[in-house]
Amino acid sequence: MRFVDEFRDPELAGVLGAEITALCEPGREYKIMEVCGGHTHTIYRYGVQDHLPDNIELVHGPGCPVCVIPMGRVDDGVAIAQRDDVILTCFGDMMRIPGGNGSFLDANAAGADIRMVYSPLDALRIARQNPDKQVVFYAIGFETTAPSTALTILRAKQEGITNFSIFCNHVTIIPAIKAILDSPDLRLDAFLGPGHVSTVIGCRPYDFIARQHGKPLVCAGFEPLDLLQSVYMIMKQFKEGRAEVENQYGRVVDWDGNPRALAVMNDVFALRPYFEWRGLGSIAHSALQLSSRYADFDAELRFEVPGVRVADPKACQCGEVLKGVLKPWECKVFGTACTPETPIGTCMVSSEGACAAYYNYGQYAKQRIHLEV
Amino acid sequence: MTTQDHCSVTEGCITCGDIAVPLTVVSMVDMDARCRDEQGREELVAVELVGALAPGDRVLVHAGVAIERLTKDLQTSQSTRSGE
């Protein structure tokens, strides 16, 4: 397939792996965090780690949007969906995320009208088709997704649609990276930057990682060779004593991002003072809410929600997995009580979640044997 | 293109997270563009965020919205770094 096969060539992967190995300093360990859940998915689907030497460890970051949704926000969504006059719409991955009172799928089975959509624009179409209902879009995602929600709000306002609102859970990547850099639990050497988030925000917002923390970051694409080339670029920086922000994904990511998307986001959204992230806790200015100009479309103002903080199940160690402190198979319930069919934690639900990626591609079996030795 | 085509655990869900797909513009329909993927599947995409487009242009699409215009030639995919 054009534009895909070029980036999945096993021979080239072998060549890149050898060049990466040649750049390693003997006896030194390298910990590189892939911030994005999409990268985690690629790494385990295509066995990218198998092309890297043992002293390079890829650490999974918090960049799976449904994985960082706290249970209380799921309960808020369920409470809205249980109203007779509401149709709640959401992305597919959100349906099985467990809340304190069950998932959206459970609520749907109990009679709530909850529908999966491909785009927030589909939710707006449902609102047009059901003028006697309140249609709510449960918005999640990083800066890749937030412009789509913002554009939908603009269209709703332009068309004068009054039975549409969003329950906004959009989060921003930079505060999460800062929280990880400030965490005492983890020592990281470098980052693989989230490719499609960077399409919107560009590469400049990562400058502080290189300048203030002295760590390289390379914005990476999502094919196996993209990731290997990005690791090569990081290792080359180490070899040459540099710590810079580089862009491997130049065929998609502009250094300054997408100014139109940023302008739309700035118009429609405002930063929340605080937002709770599963695993990372409450982080200042890390999430978006509708700005006062678009308050009419804010489901949190239109409907009464519990707004209660719900503690994660004790057995679940998603928090440690999201921070990269634990590998998925080190969680006590991984693959036993917690599976993709019956997830306890969010990381086992989404295909981008580290636990689901390990579980589905069989890497956990090899790693368990390795641990027991 | 249906949600079911993409929201499987093995293939990943293009509506979620940091996943986006490259599509080619086939025609313009009012404010939107009809776009086609490499398998020939078509969908209507909102294109306000990438400016004026013409048939043949390639865009990166996430959740039904084009979020970036793609360079046509892979050879132009240059790696760049801070300060360059």
The per-residue pLDDT for range B47-77, each reduced to its tens digit, is 999 999 999 999 999 999 999 998 754 434 4
Chain B nearest-CA residue for A141 = B17
DSSP string, A115-127: EE-SSHHHHHHHH
| A-to-B residue pairs, Cβ atoms closer than 8 angstroms | 175
For residue A2, the model assigns a pLDDT of 57
Residue A264 touches partner B, C-beta closer than 8 Å:
yes
Give the lowest-confidence range in A90-99, A109-118, A133-142: A90-99
* Position A345 confidence tier, pLDDT thresholds 50, 70, 90: confident
Tokens of B13: 């869900």
Please tell me which of the candidates A229, A246, A258 has its beta carbon nearest to residue B68. Answer: A258
Beta-carbon neighbour count of residue A369 at 10 Å?
A: 9
* Mutation choice for B interface testing from A46, A351, A352, A361 by most B CBs within 10 A: A351
For residue A3, the model assigns a pLDDT of 57
pTM: 0.87
In terms of Cβ atoms closer than 10 Å to its own Cβ (0-12, 13-18, 19+), residue B84 is: exposed
Does the structure show a pLDDT above 80 at B80? no
- % pLDDT > 90, chain B: 45
What residues of chain B have any CB closer than 8 angstroms to a CB in chain A? 1-3, 6-13, 15-20, 22, 38, 46, 48-51, 60, 62-65, 67-68, 70-71, 74, 76-83
For residue A369, the model assigns a pLDDT of 44
Q: How far is CA A142 from CA A37, A68, A100, A200, B42, in A?
A: 11, 11, 24, 10, 26
Chain B nearest-CA residue for A3 = B74
Please tell me which of the candidates B65, B74, B78 has its beta carbon nearest to residue A6. Answer: B74
* Mutation choice for A interface testing from B74, B82, B84 by most A CBs within 10 A: B82
Tokens of A327: 């590998």
Euclidean distance between CA atoms A345 and A347, whole angstroms: 6
Residue identified by tokens 């709640």 is A88
* ipTM for the assembly: 0.83
Does the structure show a pLDDT above 90 at A191? yes
pLDDT mean across residues, chain B = 73
Euclidean distance between CA atoms B34 and B28, whole angstroms: 6
For residue A41, the model assigns a pLDDT of 84
Does the structure show a pLDDT above 70 at A251? yes
* Position A4 confidence tier, pLDDT thresholds 50, 70, 90: low
pLDDT mean across residues, chain A = 90
Contacts of B81 by beta carbon, 8 Å cutoff, 6+ apart: A244, A245, A246, A247
Contacts of A278 by beta carbon, 8 Å cutoff, 6+ apart: A67, A68, A69, A70, A71, A312, A318, A319, A322, A346
